[in-house]
């Protein structure tokens, strides 16, 4: 598991039914390519975020597959339609098998 990984999500707490809202996500992650060496000359294992998903009440909103050239601390901004009150679950998947999750609840106003 990578150290210091912190997912952040900015999503509205309330929305009107059927409203399109802007979601912003950022995950603090160093992204090791597997090509660098540490001080003793051994290769630092590859550890990159390779997939990001967002679900609303169990239904897929967005899924992004990332390749090795992704930057450190990947940021995503997208719009989602909020049909009803519920939970948005954001998940980031790491090459090393780690999974990072953040949940935000959205109420109908």
- pLDDT tens sequence across 34-43: 888 999 999 9
Higher model confidence: residue 12 or residue 68?
A: 12
pLDDT at res. 90 = 98
User: For residue 81, is it within any domain?
Assistant: yes
Confirm whether pTM is higher than 0.95.
Answer: no
Domain with 76, as residue range(s), is 6-108
Domain count, the chain: 1
Tokens for 89?
């679950």
Strand positions, DSSP E, 35-98: 49-56, 59-65, 75-82, 86-94
**Helix, coil or strand: residue 28:** strand
Share of the chain above pLDDT 70, in %: 98
Q: Where are the alpha helices (DSSP H) in the chain?
A: none
For position 54, which CATH number holds?
Answer: 2.60.40.10
Instruction: Please report whether residue 1 resides in a domain.
Output: no
Would residue 38 count as lying in a domain? yes
Domain membership of residue 51 (yes or no) is yes
First to last CA, the chain: 39
pLDDT in tens, 8-34: 999 999 999 999 999 999 999 988 888
Domain membership of residue 58 (yes or no) is yes
């Amino acid at each position: 598991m990578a150290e210091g990984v912190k997912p952040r999500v900015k999503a509205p707490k309330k929305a009107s039914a059927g409203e399109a809202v802007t979601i912003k996500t950022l995950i603090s992650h160093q992204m090791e390519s597997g090509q660098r060496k540490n001080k003793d000359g051994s290769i630092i294992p590859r550890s990159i975020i390779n997939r990001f998903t967002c679900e609303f009440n169990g239904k897929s909103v967005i899924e992004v597959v990332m390749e090795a050239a992704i930057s450190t601390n990947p940021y995503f901004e997208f719009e989602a339609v909020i049909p009803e009150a519920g939970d948005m679950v954001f998940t980031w998947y790491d090459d090393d098998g780690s999974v990072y999750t953040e949940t935000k609840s959205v109420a109908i106003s």
